[in-house]
Amino acid sequence: MPRPSPSFVKAAGRRPLATMSQRTQSLFRMQTRAPRRTFILRRRPPTVTQTLNHDMDVQNLLKKQYKYNQSRLAFLSAACLASAIWACVSIYRLYHVLQENKQEANQQAEEEHVRKNKTSGVGGAFSSSGKGSGNASGSGKIQADSHPDSVPVPVGSKVVIHNPDGADLVPTGHRTVPHFPRKIILPGNANTTSDGTVEYTLVGLGVRTVSFLQLPVYVVGLYIATQDIAGIQERLVKRVNPLASTLVPSERKDLRKRLDEPPPAGNELWEEALFPARTALRITPVRNTDFPHLRDGFVRAITARKDPQETKDQRFGEVMRDFKHSFNRGKLSQSSELLLQRDAMGKLLMSYVEAKGSGKRVLMGEIEDPRISRFLWLNYLTGSVASPPARESIVQGMMDFVERPIGTVAAQVV
């Protein structure tokens, strides 16, 4: 019997029979159809055919390969960047090691030269037929980039540069700020000079650095009123041996251990020995900076040092606002001087001298609350300090106090 034509079937209201290719496509769609999910039934897991079809999808394979290549490229880039940073750090540290070796060699040569030309006794002057050259770091090491006409003069256990003008300078170890004055004259009163002036003597100094690259920021030095040095010496000696006027080597070792103790034991010793005296922090930037940048560093130091129970009152918040307001100023060029002066009662006086200006000291403000100055000073003395070289130099200066009888150190300290 002959098969009816498609037109006849369509006219009769029936669909034509599907061909073999159409049946295969329909079966493939049924097998790859996404399983339904109803309110009651969960989504069925994909069948083996669906999994195979997904794995054999060329577009999906290309996407996976692209993601793999991107991850590999990111990993290799991070590895290259880390290698470059580590190489820079290694070169930087190697350079400083070579510089330290050079400084030690220069120090030995300078000490030998001074020893041959010694003309006086303890704390005396040294004369030389040649021109001395030397520069020391905060720990007393000598460098070769000092003033060409300077003569090294030993004071206590450290070396001072005596320039032709008659001023005593202490080398800092940094080329931008090569020297700090051994003595400075400051007003005896916070507001006026009616009470006369007070001489301050340098005890220790060092360079403040930041980040793992040890980038220098400023040089800081601690000064103590020369008239108050005998009192500090007495308090240090009596703390170890109440009956002694000076300390023997074993007692000095014990005192050094106490000075190196972390807070709160370290805070107690420094507050007892140093804070009854008039002191000052002299800060000199080694590069151009601004007052807000310095203020942020000081505020972080105060926040890290403060005791929550001691500073929970409203008065402390007002004092902090006054302290921040004092630094609402502009730029501070390199080699300028920022002075933080603390009296025996803990009052803080802030002033600065612009290196590129007229040289006149500008008063920034006063803080009566002793907590601000105490937290700032402890930031350089105990615990995690802002400048480890400065702290080491200050501790060594304190140890110089107890090596001589009480009252005989004022003219010997650096």
| pLDDT tens column, 45-87 | 666 566 656 556 777 778 888 889 989 999 999 999 999 998 8
- Structural contact between residues 291 and 332, judged by C-beta atoms closer than 8 angstroms: yes
Token pair for 105: 């060699």
Interatomic CA distance for residues 207 and 387, integer angstroms: 6
Task: Out of 117-126, 152-161, 212-221, pick the least confident.
Answer: 117-126
Share of the chain above pLDDT 90, in %: 33
Q: Rounded to the nearest 5 degrees, what angle is found at the Cα of 20, between the Cα atoms of 19 and 24? A: 120
Q: Is the pLDDT of residue 268 over 60?
A: yes
Hey, is 181 helix, strand or coil?
Answer: strand
In this predicted model, which residue has the larger pLDDT, 155 or 267? 267
Compute the 3-state secondary structure of the chain and give helix, strand, coil in percent, each to the nearest 5. Answer: 40, 20, 40
In this prediction, residue 44 has a pLDDT band, given cuts at 50, 70 and 90, of low
Which CATH fold topology does 172-401 show?
A: Chalcone isomerase (3.50.70)
Q: How far apart are CA 355 and CA 125, in angstroms?
A: 31
Instruction: Answer yes or no: pTM beyond 0.75.
Output: no
- What sign does the dihedral 176-180-185-186 (CA atoms) show? positive
Contact call for residues 173 and 104 (beta carbons, < 8 A): no
Q: Work out the number of other CB atoms within 10 angstroms of the CB of residue 144.
A: 15
DSSP secondary-structure letter at 27? H
pLDDT, position 141: 34
pLDDT band at 409 (very low <50, low <70, confident <90, very high): low
Residue 21's pLDDT is 58
CA diameter of the chain:
141
Q: Is 410 helix (H, G, I), strand (E, B) or coil?
A: coil
Q: What average pLDDT score do residues 307-336 get?
A: 89
Q: Which residue has the tokens 């005890």?
A: 203
Taking the chain, what is the end-to-end CA distance rounded to the nearest angstrom? Answer: 126
How high is the pLDDT of residue 115? 56
Per-residue DSSP letters for 195-242? T-EEEEEEEEEEEEEETTTTEEEEEEEEEEEGGGHHHHHHHHHHHH-T
